[in-house]
Amino acid sequence: MDLSIVEDCIVYFLLIGILAFVYVKYIYPRIHIEGFASPSLDLVKVKSRIEGEIDPVRKQSPTFFTQTASAPTLPPNQSFLVNICPLTGYLGGYLGPPEHLMDANYYLTMAFQAGVRSFVLPVSTYINRSKEPPNWPYSGEPALVCRDSSDIIISENGLTINSFINSLIKNKSISGFGSDPIFLFIEDAISDIDRKKINYVSFMKKIASALSPLDPYRLTTAGSYGSVVGGLQQKKLLTEIPLSTFTNKIIIFTNFDTSQDADLTLASYANFIYSTDDTLPVRTIGLENLVGSTVNYITNSRINWYIAKSKGLSAPSVSNVQLALENGMQCIPIPLLSTPMDSIKDIWSLWKGASYRLKPEKARYTQPDPVVPSRPSEKLNASIQGQPPGNLVVN
């Protein structure tokens, strides 16, 4: 055989080998990570499923999952943040089984249409080099993924916080009810195992950086109250600052331990910092724990904000949601797009087509009437013969 032909064959096979290596190393993982083959094809399938679940419900309730009303109003002495209950979606971006797909844009399009303006974003991470863009945030970076009760990732892909935020801004601008305030709950969902492998302060700073597109929209100051970030004005935000102040604003809550960061990077984005601590103005409790509880939540919720969280990814019972609302719970996260529509239709209808509902009258905070000094008695008048006090009349 001609030596030049042999050399050409060797070069040919080398090129084939290099191309195969590049495909397996760099291209194949990007489109076949964790069984996630084609986001676009899977999204078409998810849309078909969700809209197929909505259609039968709409035959009985034509306005189901459609915002049909503006949020109700309050009298001036009750028009405060503490007195409203926003319709809240849990795990923003997750579209549910059986596809287990995360997609921020479709999720937010459907959520805004349904009147949702409040979103819980459980932020976690993973240490896994095989997870990389475009289907996953990089290993060790803040990520929005769906996990089961054992903390195992069950979503076929993940979202960066930035992708969710950009989609949020896009959908906010085209919403027909765009003046309603938007609530974001940036929740610490890092597993104990991963927490030991990351730099917690650096992790919070990455979250803050991802939130920066919100700068033109988020609530940073409130008139004479000055700065309202860092969790320093929580009581005043809840019970003193008029609700109209929050029109068109994005209000941010977090339970990340911002005190660990001397630079207060993430804290500078947070209007409210919450935990399970009963001494804080914003606190979390278990939704199911309300059943049979002897705690007077109606009184407590008048000046505090409660996040009543359910267990798992299934829709809570309608009776538990109603009980929470009756007790003045303001935020009840509901997996609105990750459970079958017929299981959440009765929960959704509690908001009557609006982005938030009002707390029951018995649980509302009412601002006290201003104290008006009473007119002093004439008997206490120190004047002499009708002259102002201090003027001595001499005959």
Encode pLDDT of 331-389 as tens digits.
999 999 988 999 999 999 999 999 999 999 999 999 998 766 666 666 656 555 555 55
Please name the residues in contact with 89: beta carbons below 8 A apart, sequence gap of 6 or more. Answer: 111, 116, 118, 119, 120, 333, 334, 335, 336, 337
Q: Residue 312: its pLDDT value, please?
A: 83
Q: Give the phi and the psi of residue 328 in degrees, each rounded to 5.
A: 85, 15
Please, how many CA atoms are within 13 Å of residue 222, restricted to the half-sphere of its CB?
23
Count of H helices and E strands in the chain? 11, 9
Helical (H) or strand (E) element with 222: none
Tell me the average pLDDT of the chain: 88
- Distance CA(235)–CA(272), nearest Å, equals 10
Write down the domain spans for the chain: 32-363
Q: Residue 37: its pLDDT value, please?
A: 39
Selection from 34, 74, 114 nearest residue 354 by Cα: 114
Segments of 46-90 assigned E as strands: 84-86, 88-90
Q: Is the dihedral of CA 71, 77, 81, 82 positive or negative?
A: negative
Q: Is the dihedral of CA 99, 113, 329, 165 positive or negative?
A: positive
Coil vs helix vs strand at 230 = coil
Q: Residue 232: its pLDDT value, please?
A: 87
For 86, 118, 167, 214, 331, the CA distances from 184, given in Å and listed in that order, are 11, 6, 13, 11, 11
> Looking at domain 32-363, what is its CATH homologous superfamily?
Phosphatidylinositol (PI) phosphodiesterase (3.20.20.190)
Give the model confidence (pLDDT) of 295-334 as tens digits.
999 999 999 999 999 988 899 999 999 999 999 999 999 9
Q: Which residue positions in the chain have pLDDT lower than 50?
A: 22-37, 392, 395
Please name the residues in contact with 368: beta carbons below 8 A apart, sequence gap of 6 or more. Answer: none
Q: Residue 178: its pLDDT value, please?
A: 73
Tokens of 325: 């609302």
| Radius of gyration from C-alpha coordinates of the chain | 28
Q: Residue 24: its pLDDT value, please?
A: 41
Q: What is the dihedral of CA 122, 123, 125, 130, to 10 degrees?
A: 80
Q: Residue 295: its pLDDT value, please?
A: 96
- Distance CA(142)–CA(128), nearest Å, equals 13
Q: What is the DSSP letter of 273?
A: E
